[in-house]
Amino acid sequence: MSGMLVTYSLVSHPSLSPPDAQAAATNMCHTILQPLPPLERGQTDGNVPEHVNKDSNRWFLGELEAWHTFECEVIDFFHSEMLQDAFDRCNSSPAEPAIPATMTKEKGKHLIEADSQSLALSFFYNVLGLVESFARTLTKEEEGQRNKTPSSLLKVFQIEDWKSRTHVETLNPYYTMQVELNNEKRTQDFYEAQLVGHMDLLGGEADVMKAALGNPTSKKWGGLRSILGEIAYYMLLTGLQYSFLSCYDETIFLKMDIEASTDYPAQKFPRLSYSNVVNYNDVLDESASCAKVPVRLALLYLFKLANHEGGSSSPKGDVNPLGYTAVGEFGRDLAPRGRRLSF
């Protein structure tokens, strides 16, 4: 399946423009708070593997930590003066309408491959494309009352087109957010990756991520360590701090921190923080007991974090990813490997 992991772009694929482009547009603030359209799943032949990514059997062995404050951080971001002023300034700007998230109903051995492409395109049109459009529009000087874009907002949301680039080894995230480097940081490359995202059907079962988060230290196949293995490996290789993993119905947001060992300060280890599952139909709920945020708003906040904080957890090579990941046989639970798992 690694050959199916490609980057989609409206610029590169003009023929893929949304069919509902003439639908009545709504303002950005309203759209970003809406739930996603439901995903119409195709009918399988009963032979779908437990985990779609059969060629990617990597486990994450570093520390795992729940990102308990994620929803509250997103809510604070939404109510921030910076973002609300930007929404007010761009209130009359149309938001591109989402398209129905329809997956192929083709049966047979190519179902998973076809559905993987449909999944990526549906997520792009309904989430990624809209959120990046929001970010760009919020920084345009000509929007709203033509006020000059605040420098703080420009710093947060100065996002360039993602491009098809050569990624490390065989793992190519579906989405890479890149920003233009300032003159001091420019070398041979004018752009720098700040955030990556990966879409995976995860077997097509319901509540896969919810089940994985229910027992995050499990060494069973389908547990959190197994579904995060590939994206964590890529983050360690590239030194990126922020990413997301989505199967459309469920999305989790990730932050990688590199910590120094208490006993041996010269040694460093990775700690991967994971948010609660954000469901496709979640809406903004500020209840103290069970705060929830919509997917688009959560992703917009992750954009802000990745850009504003630089997107890097550590210099590339600071932590050997092979020391904190393991490759196992497809469908098998994690076997003892002579090293202590960090929990």
- Give the pLDDT confidence of 227-241 residue by residue, as tens digits: 898 889 888 888 889
Instruction: Give residue 252's pLDDT.
Output: 97
Please provide the DSSP assignment of 95-116 as one string.
Answer: PPPP--EE-----STTHHHHHH
Residue with the larger pLDDT of the pair 49 and 187? 187
Which range is most confident: 60-69, 109-118, 152-161? 60-69
Instruction: Give residue 205's pLDDT.
Output: 76
pTM above 0.85, yes or no: no
Residue-wise pLDDT tens digits, 8-42 = 222 223 233 343 433 334 578 888 999 998 876 65
Backbone angles phi, psi at 320, to 5 degrees: -75, 115
Instruction: Give residue 10's pLDDT.
Output: 26
Confidence check: pLDDT of 182 > 60: no
Q: 28: closest CA among 158, 142, 119, 144?
A: 144
Residue-wise pLDDT tens digits, 124-166 = 888 888 888 788 777 765 554 545 556 677 666 666 544 434 3
Q: Which helix (H) or strand (E) holds 75?
A: helix 70-79
Confidence check: pLDDT of 46 > 70: no
Residue 117 burial (10 A CB sphere; 0-12, 13-18, 19+): middle
